[in-house]
Amino acid sequence: MAQPTHPERVPDDRALVMRARNGDRDAFAELVRRHQRRVWMVCRQYVGVDEADPATQDSLVKAYEGLASFDGRSAFSTWLTRIAINTCLDMLRRRRREGVKAVMPDDDDPGGAAAHVPDDAVDPEGRSMQRQAVARLEQLERGLPERQREIFRLRFYAEMELDAIADALSVHVGTVKTQLHRAVHRLRRELGDVR
């Protein structure tokens, strides 16, 4: 009788962390592949498109250096996100210290959103309206209080869960909900008919 076949078991993050701690570079390379997109999206929200790649690389190298301090109390992805956020905040502080003009994450894109948004509206008028709406949303996001903007972007663009955001920012999940609700409410109100 044939033995039942088992699908190849994919090691979870914790198992990979353990292996990486013991010097298994392939295990860490797998962690990089799994999480680099999320880390990049987080960095993109903080430092802009030009710095997102170096910030992502720095974050991943720092994560490797600090593997011994990962205690497993939170998910590896959350721990890594926290490192990414701190790396970005350090970069922004360094920029300020060095007197470099702060580059807002959206200011480094002279083409604006309209140049990038794929057209999923069927007619030219619809496409034009959508571009305007996206451009307006970008502008309004910049006007949000810092914490609201941060949480809004982590939720919708980095696509993080609420408790993961709370963990990454070291705040209560209730704070995340409140700030997110305020951000969405304000954006809806200010967008008005543009939606």
Partner 1 sequence: MNHLSDEQIAAAAAGLDLDGSAADHLESCVACRTEIEALERLIAARRRRFAAELPDWETQATAVMERIPAAVRTPGRARSAWLRPVFALAALVVLAVAVGLLRPDREPAPSTAEPSVEEVLAEMNELLSDDRIPGFEVIDPGIDDLTADPDNGKS
Q: Is 64 helix (H, G, I), strand (E, B) or coil?
A: helix
CA distance 125 to 131: 10
Q: Assess contact for 108 and 158: CB atoms under 8 A.
A: no
Q: State the nearest-atom distance from the C-beta of 148 to partner 1, in Å.
A: 11
Q: Tokens standing for 79?
A: 């721990």
The pattern of x and - marking residues 36 through 65 that bind partner 1 according to CB under 8 A reads: xx--xx--x----x--xx--xx--xx--xx
Q: State the nearest-atom distance from the C-beta of 119 to partner 1, in Å.
A: 9
- Write the CA distances from 147 to 45, 115, 165, 166, 180, integer angstroms: 12, 28, 12, 12, 9
Phi and psi (nearest 5°) for 176? -60, -45
Judged by CB under 8 A, does residue 157 bind partner 1? Answer: yes
Among 1, 7, 99, 120, binds partner 1 (CB under 8 A): 120
Q: Which residues bind to partner 1, rule: CB under 8 A?
A: 20-21, 23, 25, 28-29, 32-33, 36-37, 40-41, 44, 49, 52-53, 56-57, 60-61, 64-69, 113, 116-118, 120, 130, 133-134, 137-138, 155-157, 162, 177, 180-181, 183-185, 187-189, 191, 195
